[in-house]
Amino acid sequence: WPTLYPKFDKVPVKITNDQRAIQDVLAGTSSTSKDIQELKLYDKAGKINRHCPLLDSIRVHLATKQRDGRRVLGKDLLDTFAAPPYGWDPNAVRVGLAALVRAAAVRVIIGGKTYTNPNDRELVDCLRVSRQFDKAELVLEDEDIDPTVVTEVREFLIRLTRSRKIDETPAALSETAGNVATN
């Protein structure tokens, strides 16, 4: 097995409840299940660790394909990481992708419509349901947003709207800022 799957040791996790894990990661739940803890998606501060082996591998794969001008569909991503040299659980890959969506590092295109907000019901369903995920196009975001900037913008919007129910994602901040601007 080590000869066939030399990269298996990076993510030797089998997800038992992928539906719950995907929903928890997209919701930003701080109390994570055993499955998510084993993936090591979060750092000690409770933020998504973009440099964990799973997320780093997904980002490198998407960046390579995009640089070559090729589209990446969900099925292609799962096929790549389930086959040698990886041999990873496809559910773990979907949970990892959900973490990248939550961190605003990946956007998902479903039927020509782009989704970036982890609270969108269509996006959650797409990541949870395998048939929908297989057809979704995955696009790596070019720019990394500094987490301190996101935190400062969120604090400003909380003071402005007097509502603490603002997610700490660029999509949620943008939506809230748009609502403030129109009112």
| Per-residue pLDDT, 54 | 95
In terms of Cα–Cα distance, which of 137, 142, 143, 141 is closest to 71?
137
Give the separation between CA 42 and CA 87, rounded to whole angstroms. Answer: 22
Asked if pLDDT for residue 32 goes beyond 80, the answer is no
In terms of Cα–Cα distance, which of 168, 105, 108, 169 is closest to 142?
105
Give the separation between CA 12 and CA 156, rounded to whole angstroms. Answer: 41
On whether the CB atoms of residues 58 and 92 are closer than 8 A, the answer is: no
Asked if pLDDT for residue 141 goes beyond 80, the answer is yes
| Residue 143 binned pLDDT confidence (cut-offs 50, 70, 90) | low
Asked if pLDDT for residue 146 goes beyond 80, the answer is no
| Per-residue pLDDT, 144 | 62
Burial of residue 92 (number of CB atoms within 10 Å: 0-12, 13-18, 19+): buried
